[in-house]
Amino acid sequence: MCGIAGYIDFKKQLRDRDLRTMTDRLEHRGPDGSGYWWHEFNNAAVGLGHRRLSIIDLSEGGAQPKTEGKLHITFNGEIYNYTEIRDKLKAAGHSFHSNSDTEVILKAFDQWGINCVKEFIGMFAFVLVNENTQKAYLVRDRAGVKPLYIYQKNGLLLFASELKAFHTQRQFEKELNPDALGYYLQYGYIPTPYTIFKNCQKLEPGSYLEIDLNNQTTRKEKYWNVYEVYQQPMLQMDEQELLNETEKLLISAFQYRMVADVPVGVFLSGGYDSSLVTAILQANSTQKIKTFTIGFDNPKYNEATHAKAVAAHLETEHTEYICTEQEAKDIIPTLPQIFDEPFGDSSAIPTTLVSQIARKNVTVALSADGGDELFAGYRRYHAVANLYQKLNGKPQTLLNLAGKGIKTARRVGWTGYNHTFGHKLTKGANILTDNSPVSIIQNQVQRLTSHDLKKLLYGKGKAINQNGYLAATDPMNTLLAWEYRNYMMDDILVKVDRATMSVALEGREPFLDQRIAEWVARIPFNQKYQAGNLKYILKEITHRYIPREIMERPKMGFGVPVVQWLKTDLRDILETYLNDDRIRQAGIFNPKIVARQKALFLETDNTASFEWLWFLLMFEMWREQWM
């Protein structure tokens, strides 16, 4: 719900007009209204801005920024258990003047201080100012569903739901962060806390930043950490009891996400995750759940028939839209505007399309992201589990020697000029020297190794391996925690937030209730991935609602045939943005490597370089839009 923006200016140079300009740049996130609060303290000027998408309490009682005594807040998100918290606060003597969850946050802060965040079940990013203590708090939810960007330099702090708000201010310096660029080229997304710009960061999930408005000191605290969740003792429970308890928790979490004063729908792909969300909601509702699916003429990418079968069985109010290839292609030029940071996941195209279709009927849409990360659903986990089992227990000294030998061979050129072969060798060497499940998955999904990256970026960018994780009780569960904290948050959730909010549609994530993560983290990996069966627990619960014969089919990704398009109809875009003169003039990428890989992709059947060519294309389109 909404978009927020504002500043803390210790030089007192920014004014109310600056606040309005920043905030109104996010009108697409909140077209239903706007609000601004500005105050000059002894040592700082503070502005809170809000663009409203009305979801809960459609009256003026839900307008923001909101003030309660000496507390002021601008808030993006939903607190799903706000009615229960309000009851607690009423019992403690508080009275309420609206039905909004925003007022509940303010009263909860008044009662419990910043520890109030531990009471919240929801998705949120908010900035709260306490005039009494002259402190400000920037807060983000546990899973990182809602974004919060921060720019800090020369006594100025800017914050916003999207980077595009910062571009309205002349103080914002657009200097590329080469380390962030390196990570983007490896994985197709930029990990938290990095952003594409220097002096700019994303607030980490489950964290808050406290700022003293008198002396500019800051303190960052983590109130929830998914890695710590995965360090808890494992559950010892028979299968039926485990299924029953998990199902109860899913029912509670899913029903919470239906709280709204506007129409709510569900993105239904026909896969297990979205089908279970729909099934549980329909089983517990007296009204037909609204479901939405898009399909394509190409059967390889069309899940519409499977979704229709699920919707028919559950008797939902189903909307199916078969889009043309041209409609999908027309989304591509808009991606740099929607994703104001380089973003390489091509499934942003169908996600944007389904958001546009759903917005015609509802204001809130539930998706089923997080199911794969929590319950072990990705096909790549087969390879990781098998490789980890083979390497675990082998003498590490011998593995290290083999890995070093392979790296030496590539460094001196013994692997020849075959980029794909050399790329695979480097990945294999990395896995031999560190064969933890996280290392295996990092190397598996990496599109460029550090060796490749140095050549492409003239040695400026560095490869980043996010090894700052805490090992789980179960080594394979560590992998799931890493995926939850990285790929899910910085790829999947970014994709859904920007795509839905580009059309003022609120996206909700029922699997990302912290109670589910805290429960599933304690389930041994071999119960989630039972006898090689991915997502076993979730599938068994789904079969209680939907027959196996409807559900059991090969897993499909949510994608479009971008490879074919770039070789045919969209070849001109690739040639325009990745042409030799343009790349050479920018001086960021090595034009010889770009030209070689582009020719390999366009002139042969080799598509191994497609994904990082797509990453380059998305970066260059972004650079033209924002730099």
pLDDT at 414: 41
Q: What pTM was estimated for this model as a whole? A: 0.94
Considering 260-269, 322-331, 390-399, 494-503, the range whose residues carry the highest mean pLDDT is 494-503
To 5 degrees, how large is the angle CA 511–CA 513–CA 514? Answer: 125
Residue 24 and residue 13 in contact, taking contact as beta carbons nearer than 8 Å: no
Whether the per-residue pLDDT at 365 is higher than 70: the answer is yes
**Which residues lie across from 264 on neighbouring strands?**
364
**pLDDT for 562:** 87
pLDDT of the residue at 603: 86
Q: How far is 60 from 419, CA to CA, in rounded Å? A: 60
Taking residues 611-619, report their average pLDDT.
93
Catalytically annotated residue among 2, 116, 200, 323:
2
**What is the arithmetic mean of pLDDT over 34-38?**
97
Structure-token pair, residue 524: 């041994």
Q: What span, in angstroms and rounded, lies between the C-alpha atoms of 396 and 365?
A: 49
> CB under 8 Å to 430, separation ≥6 — which residues?
403, 439, 443, 449
Residue 402 predicted with pLDDT over 60? yes
Kindly report, residue by residue over 488-538, the tens digit of the pLDDT: 999 999 999 999 999 999 999 999 999 999 999 999 999 999 988 999 999
Radius of gyration of the chain (CA): 25
Model confidence at 417, pLDDT cuts 50, 70, 90, reads: very low
Distance from C-alpha of 561 to C-alpha of 329, rounded to nearest angstrom? 10
Tell me how far apart the alpha carbons of residues 218 and 506 are, in angstroms, rounded to a whole number.
Answer: 32
| The pLDDT of residue 415 | 39
- The answer to whether the beta carbons of residues 551 and 275 sit under 8 Å apart is yes
Contact 359, 505 (CB under 8 A): yes
Least confident of 302-306, 310-314, 524-528: 302-306
Nearest to 578 by CA among 600, 546, 551: 600
Residue 2 is a catalytic residue: yes
CA distance 41 to 239: 59
Provide the pLDDT for residue 376: 96
Mean pLDDT estimate for the chain: 91
CB atoms within 10 A of CB 584: 15
Peptide bond into 547 cis (omega under 30): no
Statement: residue 555 has pLDDT above 80: no
Domains and CATH numbers, the chain: 3-224 (3.60.20.10), 228-377+475-551 (3.40.50.620), 562-626 (no CATH)
Alpha helices in 462-570 (DSSP H): 475-483, 494-501, 514-520, 525-528, 536-542, 548-551, 562-567
Q: Would you say residue 38 has pLDDT above 90?
A: yes
Out of 512-516, 552-556, 602-606, which region has the weakest mean confidence (pLDDT)? Answer: 552-556
**Looking at residues 83-94, what average pLDDT do you find?**
98
Tell me: pLDDT of 420 over 70. no
